[in-house]
Structure 1
Amino acid sequence: MSDVVVLGGRYELEQMLGKGGMGQVYLATDNRLGRKVAVKVLPQAPAEDPEGVVRFLREARLAATLQHPGITVVHDVDQDGTVLYLVMELLNGDDLAKLLERNAGGLATAQAIDLAIQIADALGAAHSAGVIHRDLKPANVMVIDGGRAKLCDFGIAKHLSSATGLTGSGVLGTPVYMAPEQFLGRQIDARTDIYLLGGMLHELFCGQPPFPIDEGIEALVQGHLKYEPKGPRHHTPSVPAEADRLVRDMLAKEPGDRPADCKEVVRRLKAIAQPSGAQVPAQAQAPASPVDEYEQLSRRAARYCHEGRFADAVTAADQAAQGRARVLGPEHPDTLSSRNILASALYLAGRGAEAEGVARTVAQARTRLFGQDNAKTLRSWLLLAKILYTIGRAGEALPIAQGVSRDRGRIFGPENTETQEARNTEGWALHALNRNPEAMTVAYETATARGRLLGNEHPDTLETRLLLGQVNHALGQLPKAQAIATALQADCLKVLGPAHPLTAKAQTLYAAVGALGYHAPPVPYYR
């Protein structure tokens, strides 16, 4: 901000300290009390959702009542015009994400356990007060001078999920760490936070999240929903076996299979830290080689994609791809992985024309190296199909999407989210080519399958329901189009909020059907 900005007639913003999906943080002066504070300015609150703003303020004020040395003190929370902001204590230190960037293989075991105990203890205090964090991740933990961990951003994640659609999947949370019940839109509770904490601890111990993040959102979702994590000990053998077991217990698919509460997590961590009174030795950090540095840069680019930082992702992925090409060769699997992330980042950043060439090169190279049936190969071809569709070349996108649909169906079966992802792209391409009778069949089958797999209110299902409504509208099936638009608009508003692009498209469809004069009572969209 170039001009002096004073929020609430009190907090004078001075300089930006950082920014991310949760907003921008400024150094500020509280002119009433004459002290330095940190002010987090959240993304603009939607004027269409004043009740949502009221709920957010109520939840944030509840979070501000939390009193614990491991929870960042919130001095104030308010709205100034369209700006929502929180005023917090000013902390000297780095967030845990930056600390992990400087320690590519994870933290020393003793340090990781110490921080884990602090974070779990603070989280338990919040749960005792009835507050769920919902979006635990390294960027939401500050490590201040002296090694004290401080949790931040309580009460923000739920508001932002509806206000901005920040995450790659459109659902609440950061996909790198999200619990299965979050992906599925099910009820969350304190055990959801325990899963998120388990993902963080996995990375603290070995430097890597529990599931690979470099092959796109759908592959990441599959990991959280279906596969057991290998555990930090798989990556770093010096991790104590009990720490590995605790992390894997916290990452159980079913909430009831996780530790009952944070007190249990703390108890088990303390037992690891001091077995028979002995301290866990710290492992030595080996100097990073160029290969290791490019791996970390590539992983960082993937994380930026999942966090919505697409410009940063493009820069990091390009640097990683070029570095790996020099060191490993242009068609080494790791080089292709970085180039695939680059293609995804360019696509997500709206630079489809640039993304198309990169994605095609990667898909062709992976076909030569791995074969057509390889999961990574198929993901690269589907990414190319999505890019082609986005830049208006649906005729080229369609056969590629159909091929991936056929191959995934043969390999994984129809009851698979990745198979249905390809079918969804196929349906949109058919619709763009005005082949709506065929698109109808694909859209109906995909909406039904996604409803079974993910639930009717999952953002992926909502997207296919939009396609189904648009196809019915194009074919003049106005009663069904109106029924779909009515239900879809209501569900999008509830799940995604009024500012989400999918909500806007659902409202456009509803208005388009109404403009044709059809206002019959709605019928279930799936008939």
Structure 2
Amino acid sequence: MLKKKAQTLPAGTRLDQYEIVEVLGGGGFSFVYLGRDPAGERVVIKEYMPARLAYRNKDLSVVPRGTSEASRFNRGRMLFFQEASALATLKHPNIVNVISFFRANGTVYMVMDYQEGKNLQRYLRSRGGRLSARFLRTVFPPLLDGLEEIHRNDLLHLDIKPGNIHIRPGGHPLLLDFGAVHGFPQSRQSQPGSVISAGFSPIEQYEQNGYVGPWSDIYAFGATMRACIEGKPPPPARSRYERDTLKPASEQYRKHYPAPLLRAIDWAMEVDPLLRPQSVAEFRAALLAEEAPPDPDASSSGLGRLVASLPWGKG
């Protein structure tokens, strides 16, 4: 077995018609590489490589760690291939484009368009949160359109978070990393493993038989928006389920952001799945709702001018 640092494919490795240039990231269930196609154009290559279930052999093949892990590895590999096939049919300006997918080295690979831009998680770190309402209302509605297309095809993303959102020049967003995507309706019992992102995954993703659906992605979507305000992930859903100490955004940030936007975030982040928006359409309507017109009496007293002068964030 190779050492952990050698688990990724080395630069220069040939995969189908592509060549590995460098490692971009990964861990958990996959590795992500920068690659080049036969014309020399950059692409992103994702490899199914569940570290807990498999290792990289000296011939670069991916091998289950033992007989007990083999069945889970094989099922995960099958689902990865099926999901890549489904995602390749999704063509939307706010969903990363899957160019091709294929089997090699005992595992499965997915090839996607390379896009210039910045990862939202890195942008958040550099800004320390408090991204403006204008930024939120520019970036997130198009992402909702992409998410709605995923749901329309009876798929779920199940790992929405700042690290899986790419902001292209001009503020045009892309939803990335579909490593956790799977069909619905079904329980998590049918999956080979759980992808949990603390602070962003809803309570039903923690349970083996948790019933996931569009409402699960909506929780993660709302948590991602709240992270853009606070600059850090919200508390994990499991701790909120046991004792919820999270102050509603509509109370904590009411002086700095529009009330409808904050109420939509709070609604999306309800711990109980039944209390959340059940569809993207419901959540979009709440997110894009207009504020009530100002009270003329308040404006004449100068209060309206004071409210209008309050800061809306850094962006």
Q: Report what 1:16 is aligned to.
A: 23
Answering whether residue 246 of structure 2 is matched by residue 229 of structure 1, we say: yes
Higher strand share: 2
Question: How far off is 1:249 after superposition?
Answer: 0.8
Alignment of structure 1 residues 104-253 onto 2, 5 Å: 104-156=128-180, 171-185=194-208, 186-211=210-235, 221-227=238-244, 229-236=246-253, 237-253=255-271
Q: Report what 1:444 is aligned to.
A: none
| 1:54-76 CA distance string (max 9 Å, x none) | 22211221122111111000111
With over 3 angstroms needed to count, the CA separation of the structure-2 counterparts of 1:284 and 1:43, relative to structure 1, is same
8 Å CA contact retained: 1:121, 1:266:
no
Q: Report what 1:5 is aligned to.
A: 13
Question: How far off is 1:113 after superposition?
Answer: 2.0
8 Å CA contact retained: 1:29, 1:36:
yes
Matches of 1:172 and 1:280 in 2, distance apart? 43
8 Å CA contact retained: 1:206, 1:233:
no
Q: Report what 2:47 is aligned to.
A: 41
Question: How far off is 1:93 after superposition?
Answer: 0.9
Question: How far off is 1:233 after superposition?
Answer: 4.5
3-state secondary structure, aligned to 1:100: helix
Matches of 1:24 and 1:272 in 2, distance apart? 42
Answering whether residue 272 of structure 2 is matched by residue 264 of structure 1, we say: no
Matches of 1:113 and 1:92 in 2, distance apart? 21
Q: Report what 2:61 is aligned to.
A: none
CA RMSD of aligned residues (A): 3.1
Question: How far off is 1:117 after superposition?
Answer: 1.0
Q: Which has the larger radius of gyration?
A: 1
Question: How far off is 1:208 after superposition?
Answer: 3.3
Matches of 2:45 and 2:234 in 1, distance apart? 32
Q: Which has the higher contact order (CA 8 A, sep 6+)?
A: 2
| 1:39-84 CA distance string (max 9 Å, x none) | 1233257441323312221122112211111100011122211343
Matches of 1:81 and 1:34 in 2, distance apart? 23
Aligned length: 268
Matches of 2:106 and 2:131 in 1, distance apart? 41
8 Å CA contact retained: 1:272, 1:280:
no
3-state secondary structure, aligned to 2:127: coil
Matches of 1:183 and 1:26 in 2, distance apart? 29
8 Å CA contact retained: 2:165, 2:173:
yes
Higher helix share: 1
3-state secondary structure, aligned to 1:208: coil
Alignment of structure 1 residues 511-522 onto 2, 5 Å: none
Taking structure 1 as the reference length, what is the TM-score of the superposition? 0.46
3-state secondary structure, aligned to 2:155: coil
Question: How far off is 1:253 after superposition?
Answer: 2.3
Question: How far off is 1:273 after superposition?
Answer: 8.6
Question: How far off is 1:240 after superposition?
Answer: 1.9
Q: Which runs of 5+ in 2 are unaligned?
A: 1-8, 55-63, 65-69, 183-188, 295-307
Matches of 1:21 and 1:273 in 2, distance apart? 42
Answering whether residue 120 of structure 2 is matched by residue 86 of structure 1, we say: no
8 Å CA contact retained: 1:26, 1:38:
yes
The list of structure 1 runs, each at least 4 consecutive aligned residues, that deviate by more than 4 angstroms after superposition, is: 272-276, 279-282
Taking structure 2 as the reference length, what is the TM-score of the superposition? 0.75
3-state secondary structure, aligned to 1:143: strand
Question: How far off is 1:157 after superposition?
Answer: 5.5
Q: Which runs of 5+ in 1 are unaligned?
A: 166-170, 214-219, 287-527
Identity %: 25
Question: How far off is 1:145 after superposition?
Answer: 1.2
Answering whether residue 314 of structure 2 is matched by residue 285 of structure 1, we say: yes
Matches of 1:14 and 1:3 in 2, distance apart? 5
What residue identity is the alignment partner of 1:41?
A: E
